[in-house]
Structure 1
Amino acid sequence: AEPEPMEYVRVCDAYGTGYFYIPGTETCLKVGGRVRFDVQAANSYVANSDLGWRTKSRAEIYLDSASDTEYGPLKTQIVTRFDFDGTYNDGVHTTTSLIAANIQLAGFTVGLADSAYTVFTNYAGDIINDDVISYGGFEVNQITYNYDGGNGFKAVVSVEDARLARNGTDVWGNARYVDDDNYKVNVVGGLGYSTGAFGFSVVGGYDSHAEEGAIKARLDGTFGNITAFLMGAWSTDGDTTNAFAPGDTYGPWGDWAVWGG
């Protein structure tokens, strides 16, 4: 019998770099990941800390798929993370996290992803540790619609899993949460516009359990080889925290918070 012809992997460039066709299908796949090793001296979040050395190793795996439909590209995203804290060094303190698991089609994103309140303003700078003053939520189940007008105008509407119900506050004024069985959801909405050199976006979120929320705005600019941004947020109750005004290392960040870079 004649041998079957071998089908080599073909590059799929319709959805960006890194994709290839899964043999025998019209579905494209992209595989990626990273490994990171941290060495920490003392504790960056505690004044006059003398904890000494700490180490941490992290591995992440990225899987993205894409295929064409009559409604546009159908995409999926999976991000998994594995962390090992060297403080224990006993071989069993590896934590596993599912960072993203979502489906995207015709502007809709359903599943696990960072909160639209955080993503719409492009987080808070491209640095590793941007969490001293929290600027929104991260991994959350959601149903989100992103609109891109193709002329610089964009908009977002999102319904997100509220997950937990508020149950008072702790000694620092942070909200305490417990599991509940009601049907509340958090809501996010935002508008933005960008040109080649400047961009502006504003987004708001309402925490249905805390019955509070926050509004955040960001201004971006490009000046030759320099890019800069300024972002500010207002909390409806600066004495407590909510899903969209999570506070800082020491508790609520008050009525206002500002970021820049």
Structure 2
Amino acid sequence: AGFYYIPGTDTCIKLGGYLRAEVALGSNAVYGPANGAPAGAHNRTSNYYTMRARQDLNIDTRTATEYGVVRTFFDATFSWTTGGYVGTGSATGATGYTGTTAGTAVINPTDGGTSGGSLGVYYAFIQFAGFTMGKAVSQFD
């Protein structure tokens, strides 16, 4: 139940997931109101909005073979958050954009430390003949 039979094959597939989006207007960060520096100035050194999104995708396939059913399963989540502008402390008013760069840590704690994107794989496995291979729930949990 819930699977789609792929015509011409012995395979059924089920796709699932969700998308969650959030926008904070008049804010320099999701958790910070725009009432202090630099966000309260509402100029080029602050964002007018902050966006976050999280998507979850799961794919479940079942294929009938002579030796039994082959099952593949994949479940992953993708998250993304915009960064925020902060002053660098120079007298010229130079600013810096916070967020993540490849190979660096998150440098903007004002939005919950989530600036940039991330990928999380919950499950990715193949089941066949009583064996499970890949990332799955442990038998010892």
TM-score (norm 2): 0.51
Q: Sequence identity, in percent?
A: 36
Q: Secondary structure at the match of 2:136?
A: strand
| Preserved CA contact (<8 Å) 1:78 1:100 | yes
The residue correspondences of 1:41-56 to structure 2 (distance < 5 A) are: 53=31, 56=52
1:116 counterpart SS class: coil
Larger Rg: 2
Higher RCO structure, 1 or 2 (CA under 8 Å, sep 6+):
2
Distance 1:38 1:75, change over 3 A: same
Match of 2:111 in 1: none
Is 2:10 the counterpart of 1:26?
A: yes
| Residue 114, structure 1, aligned to residue 137, structure 2 | yes
Distance across 2 between alignment mates of 1:69 and 1:63: 19
Cα displacement (A) at 1:104? 0.8
Distance 1:98 1:106, change over 3 A: same
Which whole-Å CA distance do the structure 2 matches of 1:102 and 1:57 have between them?
A: 26
Q: In the alignment, which residue of structure 1 is the partner of 2:61? A: 65
Native 8 Å contact 1:22 1:28 kept in 2: yes
Amino acid at match of 2:119: T
* Superposed displacement of residue 36, structure 1: 3.3
Q: Which amino acid aligns with 1:101?
A: A
Q: Distance in 2 between matches of 1:38 and 1:95?
A: 16
Distance 1:60 1:83 in 2: 9
Provide the secondary structure at the position in 1 that maps to 2:78.
strand
What amino acid is the match of 2:6? I
**What residue identity is the alignment partner of 2:4?**
F
Unaligned stretches of 5+ residues in structure 1: 1-16, 40-51, 119-261
Alpha-carbon spacing, 1:84–1:19, altered in 2? closer, same or farther (3 Å): same
Deviation at 1:97, TM superposition (A): 2.5
The letter for the 2-side match of 1:24 is G
Residue in structure 2 matched with residue 197 of structure 1 by the alignment: none
- Paired with 1:73 and 1:105, the residues of 2 have a C-alpha distance of 6
Look up the equivalent residue of 2:129 and give its one-letter code: A
Q: Map 1:179-190 to 2 at 5 A.
A: none
* Cα pair 1:18 1:31 within 8 Å, conserved: no
Structure 1 residues 91 and 22: CA distance shift in structure 2, 3 A: farther
Give, in angstroms, the shift of residue 103 of structure 1: 0.5
Q: TM-score, normalised by structure 1?
A: 0.29
CA displacement 1:31-85 (0-9 Å, x = unmatched): 111123579xxxxxxxxxxxx8278531011111101123322100011210123
1:98 aligned onto 2:121: yes
* 3-state DSSP of counterpart to 1:114: coil
CA distance in 2, matches of 1:56, 1:26: 40
Aligned length: 89
